[in-house]
Amino acid sequence: MTTTDIGQLSDFEQGVPRQLKVDGRVLVAVRVAEEVFVLDDRCSHEEFSLSEGEVDLETAEIECARHGAMFRLSDGAPMTFPATRPVKHYDVLVREGRLEVETP
């Protein structure tokens, strides 16, 4: 397991997806309230970049801009069709005010 510093909470704007390159992976980070969620930046339907999608702050879900599938940010679960498979989710740790993403 590798942990990588991705900044602090104030570096992330509410509900604005940001692409991150971490440990050879392309990820998307989204802040909702006081938490930052990190998923693979790849829709499980047709491998479209989720960082181009919109975030629903009320449900804490991100929409794929290509065909509109919604994914739960807390675990990458697909909430609507056409996606049926989850997107990989990564844990984010908070250490002394810094955010660290864990990759296997």
| Interacting residue ranges for ligand FES, rule: CB under 6 A | 43, 45-46, 48, 64, 66-67, 69, 82-83
**Which of 7/82 has CB closer to ligand FES?**
82
**Which of 4/48 has CB closer to ligand FES?**
48
> Smallest distance from the beta carbon of 8 to ligand FES, in angstroms?
30
CA distances from 12 to 24, 70, 85 (A): 21, 21, 27
- For the four alpha carbons of 64, 68, 71 and 76, in that order, the dihedral sign comes to negative
> Smallest distance from the beta carbon of 17 to ligand FES, in angstroms?
13
